[in-house]
Amino acid sequence: MGPREQVFTRDELARDPVELAIRLLGCVLESRLADGEVRLRLTEVEAYRGRDDPASHCYRGRTPRNEVMWGPAGHLYVYFVYGMHFCANVVATTEGEAGAVLLRAGEVVDGSELARSRRPTAKGKGEFASGPAVLTSVLGLGREHNGIDLTGPDSPIRLLAGPPVPAAEIRSGPRVGVAAAMDVPWRFWLAGSPSVSAYRRAGRARPRRQVG
């Protein structure tokens, strides 16, 4: 852990998902599993609220699948998508009020060798964790990590807070690949990062990369 990093507390994460998404940019997600450690700096995130957000998993109410997303804050919400990938979210707000931040992309800052072994087709460090499914793969996250507490000092998955990123370095735009509320500008990324995932609006055939 760097000299200016510390594990987020639950109270620090219990805030509106949009506000939390911006705060998480530049912070570090640390995975300490049996085969080694990988740490990555978050460069792209996406906010989702609850029953007032048509793109949210919680829009139609509480279910066994989305239970973790209803709080308390500070837990990891991991879900399976397209029958082949896992995506990870940091749960926000307070218990009983749904909300989370999807972790879309990051830059590996420690554990590059292990990251490469988990992502052997990556052409460079910028592709190690470019996209939510790739990010979870590089960190070794799966179904068994759904609900894990990111605020615990001994947790194998921890979220470390660094200094807030200056507003001038942050960009925002529409969320990616959702069929509802697709134009809501709740995706945030660090300008200039090569890890930022390609933007694909639902129904468009050609993605384009937004890096600043």
The enclosing domain of 166 has a CATH number of 3.10.300.10
Is there a contact between 16 and 93 (Cβ–Cβ < 8 Å)?
yes
What's the domain range around 93? 6-209
Give a yes or no: residue 204 inside a domain: yes
Give a yes or no: residue 55 inside a domain: yes
Give a yes or no: residue 109 inside a domain: yes
Q: Select from 113, 135, 117, 111 the least CA-distant residue to 193.
A: 135
Give a yes or no: residue 165 inside a domain: yes
pLDDT at residue 124, as a whole number = 66
pLDDT at residue 4, as a whole number = 61
CA distance 167 to 12: 19
CA distance 106 to 127: 9
CA distance 156 to 142: 13
CA distance 43 to 22: 10
Two tokens, residue 196: 């930022």
Alpha helices in 35-194 (DSSP H): 112-118, 132-139
Give the pLDDT confidence of 142-175 residue by residue, as tens digits: 999 999 999 998 999 999 998 999 999 999 999 8
Give the pLDDT confidence of 25-82 residue by residue, as tens digits: 999 999 999 999 999 999 999 999 988 888 888 888 899 999 999 989 999 999 998 7
CA dihedral defined by 209, 59, 95, 158, rounded to 10 degrees?
A: -30
Answer whether 0.85 is exceeded by the pTM: yes
Give a yes or no: residue 202 inside a domain: yes
Two tokens, residue 207: 């993605």
Q: How confident is the model at residue 1 (pLDDT cuts 50, 70, 90)?
A: low
Domains identified in the chain, total number: 1
Give a yes or no: residue 1 inside a domain: no
Longest dimension (CA), the chain: 45
